[in-house]
Amino acid sequence: MSKNIRVQIAKRAEKEIKNGFYVNLGIGMPTMVANYISENKNVVLQSENGLLGIGPYPSEDQVDPDLINAGKETVTAIPGASFFSNAESFAMIRGGHIDLAILGGMEVAENGDLANWMIPGKMIKGMGGAMDLVHGAKKIVVIMEHVNKAGQPKILKKCSLPLTGQRVVDRIITDRAVIDVTEAGLELVEVVEGYTIEDIIHSTEPQLIISDKLVLKKTR
């Protein structure tokens, strides 16, 4: 995925963050969202490794090797940030104090199942905090490419990879569209400039409900 597309997705995901939210950004592309949060929003970013008040990525002269997020990336801390144990961090998550979690995804099923923590046969460092986040955060937004490198859909009728959580995803944001998970099925609510409704239908395995309020978005 090109950097421009990653930025496009991160900027769209930022719009899900409301003023006053406590937000957890997952490992990978979701961490980019921190760079695009509006200055007009009072938002507190939480990391499951024990930091409340994450700032944007540091410039070269700001890098502190001891200040990292859950993805082991160097970060900055905003004024008033606090540090605490991993146990306290997960108490915040499990206690329902996180308003929004933005996570990456390998696969999402039409019923909201999420697979994002491992591929069988490949080395992993651990499951991270995703399994707690998908059940503890009040809203789950997944950001990812719409199709894999082989051009096959990543939004499926049923996930083929080990699940992170069942029926946990509220909204999917991809490089092509924004899709909501509803009781009636997957609802297409936005189409990115350069794609058509037919493009999204053909690159999504489950049947889509076309929203009455469908928005054709521009990436600029």
Question: What residues are annotated to the active site?
Answer: 48
CA distance 160 to 92: 31
CA distance readout (Å), 214 to 63, 187, 203: 42, 9, 18
Q: In this structure, are strands 51-54 and 44-47 parallel, antiparallel, or unpaired?
A: antiparallel
CA distance 128 to 118: 10
